[in-house]
């Protein structure tokens, strides 16, 4: 059973805490260009990192997310950038927005789903794709994590933005047999010299091996055409980026 994660708690700091989307974005753009995919559904758009990047590059992108707090920020960013982007509240397991050349779910988004819900999501993504359309997503690599999982409390983020300091620690656990990672995070935010605010969060993330992903996609109407590191290189780190085609 998975435990949900409430992104609204720290939504204003999300992009600072989760910085590192440039490599993903550049490789996404390369894939879409190679397969001549222009109409894109970002099914887990969050604060719009991928949606706005691809829109600026000339792609026709619609953004959707289950979090109203995330969508509010994405919409404001689009307005500030004078970009005409449509955003909708939706659930990747069931929402239907049209027929697209490609659907993306980035930043470990599928990890918040149970295995049955992920399979349901794959089928629904197929319902949003044209024939031979692409599904592109990333997730932690279970085989890598089995060998390299950190078993002690560690500092994940330490940053200072203007007069605000942000420090985040992790103390996670991994069920290697079932691929279920229990995440325990504490985030400390201090503005100037004021008393730090402490946010404690706990949720689970379902992670997969490359073979598991291939099997699940095949079972639900897709064929894998490539699996890569997050920047398109050979897989050697903690992430798998999978490119699949609707059969």
pLDDT higher than threshold 80 for residue 55: yes
State which residues form the domain around 35.
7-140+208-246
Rounded to two decimals, the pTM is 0.96
Q: 158 with 195, same domain?
A: yes
Instruction: Decide: 14 and 53 in contact? Cβ < 8 Å.
Output: no
Q: Tell me, yes or no, whether 84 and 185 share the same domain.
A: no
In this structure, the answer to whether residues 186 and 238 fall within a common structural domain is no
Residue 197: inside a domain? yes
Q: Identify the residue with better confidence: 20 or 15.
A: 15
156 in the same domain as 67: no
Indicate the pairing of strand 60-65 with strand 39-42: parallel
Classify residue 93: in a domain, yes or no.
Answer: yes
Residues 117 and 28 in one domain: yes
CATH number at residue 216: 3.40.50.150
| Least-confidence region, from 9-23, 28-42, 131-145 | 9-23
168 with 62, same domain?
A: no
Mean pLDDT of 57-73: 97
At residue 1 the predicted structure's pLDDT band, cuts being 50, 70 and 90, is low
Instruction: Let me know whether 74 and 185 are in one domain.
Output: no
Residue 241 lies in a domain: yes
Instruction: Tell me the mean pLDDT in the region 91-104.
Output: 98
Residue 1 belongs to a domain: no
Do 164 and 225 belong to one domain?
no
Q: What is the pLDDT of residues 151-191, one digit of tens each?
A: 999 999 999 999 999 999 999 999 999 999 999 999 999 99
Radius of gyration of the chain (CA): 18
The structural domain count of the chain equals 2
HEC profile of the chain: CCCCCCHHHHHHHHHHHCCCCHHHHHHHHHHHHHCCCCEEEECCCCCCHHHHHHHHCCCEEEEEECCHHHHHHHHHHHHHCCCCCEEEECCCCCCCCCCEEEEEECCCHHHHCCHHHHHHHHHHHHHCEEEEEEEEEEEEEHHHHHHHCCCCCEEEEEEEECCEEEEEEECCEEECCCCEEEEEEEEEEEECCCCCEEEEEEEEEECECHHHHHHHHHHCCEEEEEEECCCCCCCCCCEEEEEEEEC
Residue 24 pLDDT grade (very low, low, confident, very high; cuts 50, 70, 90): confident
């Amino acid at each position: 059973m998975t435990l949900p994660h409430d992104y609204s708690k720290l939504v204003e700091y999300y992009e600072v805490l989760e910085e590192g989307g440039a490599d993903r974005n550049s490789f996404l753009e390369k894939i879409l260009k190679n397969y001549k995919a222009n109409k894109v559904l970002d099914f887990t758009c969050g604060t719009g990192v991928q949606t706005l990047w691809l829109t600026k590059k000339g792609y026709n992108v619609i953004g959707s997310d289950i979090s109203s707090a995330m969508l509010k920020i994405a919409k404001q960013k689009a307005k500030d950038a004078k970009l005409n982007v449509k955003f909708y509240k939706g659930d990747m397991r069931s929402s239907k927005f049209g027929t697209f050349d490609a659907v993306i779910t980035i930043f470990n988004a599928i990890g918040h789903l149970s295995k049955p819900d992920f399979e349901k999501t794959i089928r629904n993504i197929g319902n949003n794709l044209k024939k031979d359309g692409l599904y592109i997503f990333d997730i932690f690599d279970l085989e890598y994590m089995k060998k390299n999982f950190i078993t002690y409390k560690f500092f994940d983020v330490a940053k200072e933005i203007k007069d605000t300091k942000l420090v985040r620690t992790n103390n996670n656990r991994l069920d290697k047999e079932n691929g279920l990672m229990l995440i325990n995070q504490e985030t400390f935010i201090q503005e100037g010299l004021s008393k730090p605010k402490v946010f404690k969060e706990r949720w689970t993330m379902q992670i997969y091996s490359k073979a598991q992903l291939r099997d699940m996609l095949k079972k639900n109407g897709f064929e894998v055409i490539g699996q890569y590191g997050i920047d398109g290189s050979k897989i050697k780190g903690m992430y798998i980026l999978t490119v699949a085609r609707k059969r």
